[in-house]
Amino acid sequence: MCLRPPSRFLCAMIFATLAIIISTHESYGRRRHYTYTYTNNGGGTSSYVKRVAPLVDPESANYPTLPIKYNYDLASSSDVAFEDKLRVFLRVDDKDVVSKTSGRIVAEVKLTDLNDYQTTHVRFVPVSIGPDVENEEFTTAVFDVTNKNGESLIKPSTVYRLFVNLHRESDVYDRDSSIGRLALPYYVATGGETRLQQARQQIVMRTFKEFYYRKNGWRTGERYPMDCYAYYMWATGFCTTGAENGRTKLNKLFTSDIPYHNGSRIPTISTQNPIHGDYVRKPGHSFMLLSYDPTKKHVWCMEGNFNSTVEVVVRSVSLSWQVGHLRDGHIRPDVFPIHGLSVRTN
Q: What are the residue ranges spanned by the domains of the chain?
A: 8-189, 195-330
Highest mean pLDDT pick, 15-19, 46-50, 337-341? 46-50
Proportion of the chain above pLDDT 70, given as a percent? 82
Q: How high is the pLDDT of residue 134?
A: 56
Is a pLDDT exceeding 60 seen at residue 46?
no
pLDDT bucket at 341, cuts 50 / 70 / 90: very low
- The pTM of this model reads 0.86
Q: Are strands 119-126 and 322-324 parallel, antiparallel or unpaired?
A: unpaired
C-alpha 105: how far from its chain's center?
23
Mean of the pLDDT values across residues 307-332? 96
Is a pLDDT exceeding 70 seen at residue 79?
yes
Mean of the pLDDT values across residues 304-322? 96
Q: How high is the pLDDT of residue 133?
A: 58
Is a pLDDT exceeding 50 seen at residue 323?
yes
Per the CB < 8 A criterion, the answer to whether 201 and 189 are in contact is yes
Size (the chain), residues:
346
In degrees, rounded to 5, the angle at the alpha carbon of residue 327 between the alpha carbons of residues 324 and 329 is: 125
Is the Cα dihedral 145, 150, 151, 153 positive or negative? positive
Q: How high is the pLDDT of residue 101?
A: 74
Q: Identify the DSSP state of 43.
A: S
Mean of the pLDDT values across residues 86-97? 89
Segment among 152-166, 222-236, 328-342 with least mean pLDDT = 328-342
pLDDT bucket at 116, cuts 50 / 70 / 90: very high
C-alpha 242: how far from its chain's center?
27
For every residue of 243-301, which 3-state class applies, written as one string? CECCECCHHHHCCCCCCCEEHHHHHHHHHHCCCCCCEEEECCEEEEEEEEECCCCEEEE
Task: Give the phi and the psi of residue 269 in degrees, each rounded to 5.
Answer: -60, -40
Task: Give the phi and the psi of residue 301 in degrees, each rounded to 5.
Answer: -135, 150
Smallest CA-to-CA distance from 79 within 202, 240, 213 is with 202
What is the pLDDT of the chain when averaged over all its residues? Answer: 86
Mean of the pLDDT values across residues 234-251? 96
Helices (H), the chain: 8-23, 26-31, 72-75, 96-99, 195-216, 228-236, 250-253, 266-272
Tens digits of per-residue pLDDT, 132-186?
655 577 889 999 999 988 889 999 999 999 999 999 999 999 999 999 999 999 9
Proportion of the chain above pLDDT 90, given as a percent? 72
Q: How high is the pLDDT of residue 298?
A: 97
**DSSP for 173-187?**
-STTTEEEE-SS-EE
Q: Is 164 helix (H, G, I), strand (E, B) or coil?
A: strand
